[in-house]
Amino acid sequence: MKKISPLKKGDTISIISPAGPIKDIKALNKAVSYFESKGYKVKVSPNALAQEDYLAGDDDFRFADLLEAFENPEIKAILCSRGGYGCARLLHRINNDFIYTNQKMFLGHSDITAILNNFPITTFHAPMAVSDFGCDEVDAITEKSFFEVIEGIKAPYLYEAKKDFKVINSGEANGKLVGGNLSVLISLMGTEYAPDFGGRILLLEDLNEPLYKIDRMLTQLKLAGVFERISGLVVADFGETEVSMEFLRSFCSQKPAFYGFYASHAKSKYTLPIGVEYILDADKGTLELVQDVF
């Protein structure tokens, strides 16, 4: 992949809403003030506050903001406001040549997973404007990782699991990082927009889905041969839904894997480049970025 430039103070960050609508304008304003206090300029996209049922405006509005953010040379990074739903509705409109030519930092998680795994550039599984930076106090782990990464992360760079992480399967693996939200990944299966899982390290997370739904989604990945093709697995968490390691091992029993990582809907989350090389050590609970992003 073509490398992008790290951010520096004075650069402009665009906040867009490619999925669900912003429900808390005060939180958006807090996020804008937060980034300005860090020395960045902020441009809220024209339709970021639009709303049409469960979407942040219709597909045309949301896609227009996405294109404008990439096309505008003033903007150096694109930060999604929140998740929800809507990104998959835009995938068939995206011109990869346009994105590649006008590439810049693109950050988000949750529903943004659909876009993160389909752009022809390095993207970032990362916190979002309203949900993570629009609060009274930004989480320390989230803040540290975010700025270390966007301002010029250098490989090797080590991401450590939660202190109470659990080993699913011992061993080490290497490969490009792919994945994100389990529900969104499942919605892409059987389409041309499903990620290439071959030889990849797969990241999975979800928010409070009932155990039977997690079972159903993991079973679909297993039946599709995904767990046979990946090199390793990192399961961040499933919110308040508890899973056993035996349960997870029943789906992915042959590849190095661990559970408990700062890359979910929880308050603390890392900023992780997607589509670049890592080394996974399941016994230590680490992901080591070994490819320079910038």
Active-site residues, by number, are 110, 205, 265
| Unique residue bearing structure tokens 């550039």 | 121
Contacts of 281 (CB under 8 A, 6+ apart): 172, 256, 288
Helix (H, G, I), strand (E, B) or coil at 43: strand
User: Could you write out the DSSP letters of every residue in 226-279?
Assistant: HHHH-SEEEE---TT----HHHHHTT--SS-EEE--S-SSSS----EEESSEEE
Q: Is 16 helix (H, G, I), strand (E, B) or coil?
A: strand
- Cis status of the peptide bond prior to 195, with omega within 30 of 0: no
